[in-house]
Amino acid sequence: MTRDVFAVDLDRIEKLLPRYAMEGPRYTSYPTAPVWGDGYGPSDFRRDLSRDDAQPGDGLSIYVHVPFCRSLCHFCACNRVITRNEALPVQFLETIEREVDTVREAVGAPRPVTQVHWGGGTPTHLTPEQVTRLHAAVTARFPVAEGAEISIEVDPRVTTPEHVGALREAGFNRISMGVQDFEPRVQEAIHRIQPLDDTAALVDRCRQAGFESVNFDLIYGLPYQSEATFTRTLEKVIALRPDRLALYSYAHVTWVAKHQRGFERKDLPPPEVKIRIFLAALRRFLEAGYRFIGLDHFAEPDDELSRAFADRTLRRNFMGHTTQAGVDLIGLGPSAISELRGAYAQSHREIPVWQEAVESGQLATRRGHVLTPEDLERRWVIGRIMCHGEIRASEFEAAFGRPFADSYSAELASLEPAVDDGLAHVGDDGSLQVTPLGRLLVRNVAMQFDAYLPEQRREGRSMFSKTV
Ligand code: SF4
């Protein structure tokens, strides 16, 4: 019998969620960023870029971080600089062009780029001409393959018809819009006034221009949200019919984003209300015909993400869920992260420091991590759990030459409560299957296989957002 990979038992999950709400990584990498060290620098990254054992035909992903925004949204934990100084993007472009040259020279054999993603900050803080120039600079050094996925995150408040035209002209085919919530009171509290009409007009423009996919980012757990207010937002969202939806939990991470202290904690929905808001959204998206891809992503049934999840080709990296398998990721711009087969590297976060490093002809690496054989194995395991919702013991043994059940007996034993709660099944050979119910709490399942987490917990520092 085919399992219905998209079905979710909403009544049951409502009872379980409070018990599983705890701090935990989102596993866009393993090991997670707090494990990486400052001892990893530019010469290490240069070595890892050049000795990467990729074949010339293997694909490459490029991430470009554009760090500027016009005004500060009070929920934001991204690396961004709030500015209206027009000179800053001009300097930024000059520096990032130099960085592309330095990275290209370090990469060695040319490889086809199968995925490009721009994030930020607000990439459309750049003018349409600057967008065209930056894309040309990147793709001149890293030519894009036929059919590549070229995507960008935009803020509807600053994205003009001219931007849409320039993006399509350059070849961008996917667009992701920050929406968060349509309620005026919530928008006021988060310092992000974004009328529905502006977002709707941008969606129309993007569809007319021929973007293949439109994504909305929403956030639950923001100040003044309730089930009733968010339901109104959901109806407006569904009427606009984006192809993909990301529904993020508001991460109150004041140890990272100090301006979040501007919120009165009492204005945030209490945990039980937050859970009800999430469940209301989940229920409504499923009723509206979207598929639950996992963690916090939804997609139309015929969307590539839905297909990739169903046929087990979904992958996860710093750009979120992706359909691009076996591809190295190179990050450009301040704070950008690169993910190679055997290493992670992150650039300096502060623009002046990043600029100084690049202008001196260096790679701007601030920290990183070389994966040990155990890290590589656990990355494989956690990646399978997060993206496919299962570990097949035979696949593990084929990849690593050891039985899965013997290698991870303690981790599998620690899953017993989750198995009893119906979140996962464990077979005699250790094969693990996360149930549709468990996919909502997949981070909790993956956390059992994280070798660094116990020590991080002992340290008692807050490093991660809540799983719910
Ligand atoms: S526009 Fe985006 S990156 Fe900029 S402050 Fe708002 S949420 Fe953060």
Read off the pLDDT of residues 106-161 as tens digits, 9 standing for 90 and up: 998 888 899 999 999 999 999 999 999 999 999 999 999 999 999 999 999 999 99
Q: For the purposes of burial, counting CB atoms within 10 Å of the CB of 418, is it exposed (0-12), middle (13-18) or buried (19 or more)?
A: buried
| 301 Cα–ligand 1 center, Å | 29
CA-to-CA dists, residue 245 to 189, 213, 223, 234, 309, angstroms: 23, 11, 21, 11, 15
pLDDT beyond 60 at 5: no
- Euclidean distance between CA atoms 316 and 343, whole angstroms: 16
- Residue type for 92, please? F
| Residue that wins the pLDDT comparison between 459 and 173 | 173
Alpha-helix runs per DSSP H in 220-322: 227-240, 271-287, 304-310
Please tell me the predicted confidence (pLDDT) of residue 391: 96
Alpha-helix runs per DSSP H in 241-302: 271-287
* Average pLDDT over every residue of 14-42: 89
Share of the chain above pLDDT 70, in %: 92
Ligand 1 binding pocket mutation candidate from 65, 66, 68, 69 (most atoms within 8 A of CB):
69
Nearest CA to ligand 1 atom 3: 121
Ligand 1 binding pocket mutation candidate from 65, 72, 76, 335 (most atoms within 8 A of CB):
76
DSSP state at residue 232: H
Nearest 5°: CA angle at 271, between 417 and 268? 155
How big is the chain by its Cα radius of gyration, in Å?
A: 22
Please tell me the predicted confidence (pLDDT) of residue 65: 97
Strands 320-322 vs 297-299: parallel, antiparallel or unpaired:
unpaired
Domains of the chain and CATH, by start: 7-31+372-458 (1.10.10.920), 36-332 (3.80.30.20)
